[in-house]
Amino acid sequence: MYSQGLLLYCFVLSSLYLLIVSVVLRYVERKLQLTQGIASSLLESTGLGWAAINYVMEALFFAVIPTLAYGFFYLIIPLSGIRAGMAASLFAFTLGAIPALMGLSVRIKLPMPYILFMLLSLLIKLGGSLSIIGYLYSL
């Protein structure tokens, strides 16, 4: 059966990790000026509301859903630890993020540094969150 306490710990710690990493990556993106070559009509205005909605979406897709999925698959296939979390994150990243962003890069002329930074930031967020979840399941 699901351990509600463990699910809560996984959700809280991975959400906290996401918050810290999102702030750092947003700062790096501004310093590198990666959106400079993109038309202003394609960019959204970033403010506090945008940041809050973006964080809620990231927490849902990088913390809540992986926590529940990992908890379910842990009952079926007892894999735990940081390696299992990284393997799950690489699997999800390869099947989800890479095809979507590569398809987008073919349809819309986006600068390659921006796309590569997006891929790297998604991998860092997903890998870290699932590593935390895998580590907590190994305790």
Structure confidence by residue, pLDDT tens digits, 63-81: 888 888 888 887 787 777 8
Residue-averaged pLDDT of the chain: 84
Q: Does the structure show a pLDDT above 60 at 1? A: no
**CA 63 – CA 58 distance, rounded (Å):** 7
The pTM (predicted TM-score) of the whole model is 0.82
pLDDT band at 2; cut points 50, 70, 90: low
pLDDT of residue 133: 87
Number of domains in the chain: 1
pLDDT of residue 59: 92
18 contacts 133 by C-beta, under 8 angstroms:
no
pLDDT band at 82; cut points 50, 70, 90: confident
In sequence order, what are the residues at sequence separation of 6 or more whose Cβ sits closer than 8 angstroms to the Cβ of residue 62? Answer: 14, 18, 125, 126, 129
Range of the domain at 102: 4-138
Identify the DSSP state of 80: -
pLDDT of residue 57: 92
Question: Which tokens go with 90?
Answer: 């690489």
Q: Does the structure show a pLDDT above 80 at 61? A: yes
Q: Does the structure show a pLDDT above 80 at 11? A: yes
Per residue in 86-126, pLDDT (tens digit) is 888 888 888 888 888 788 778 877 788 888 888 899 889 98
- Please state, for a pLDDT cut of 90, what percent of the chain lies above it: 20
